[in-house]
Amino acid sequence: MQHSIKDLWLYPFPEIDVVHTQEPLLPEPELTTPGRCICCRQNVRHRFRLDDSWPLRQLTDTISDTRVRLNKATEHLDKLKKRGEPVATGEKEKYNTAVKAAERALEQARLSARRLSLRHVQKAEITSTESLSEKEQELFHEDGPPYSLCAFCHAWHSLNGYAAAQGVMVWLYPVYDQPGNPGHRCRSE
- 48 close to 33: Cβ distance less than 8 angstroms: no
Q: What is the pTM (predicted TM-score) of this model? A: 0.65
Domains of the chain, residue spans: 27-165
pLDDT score recorded for residue 187:
38
Question: Where are the extended beta strands (E) located within 122-168?
Answer: 147-150
pLDDT in tens, 133-172: 888 888 887 777 888 888 888 887 877 665 555 555 555 4
- The dihedral of CA 123, 125, 129, 132: what is its sign? negative
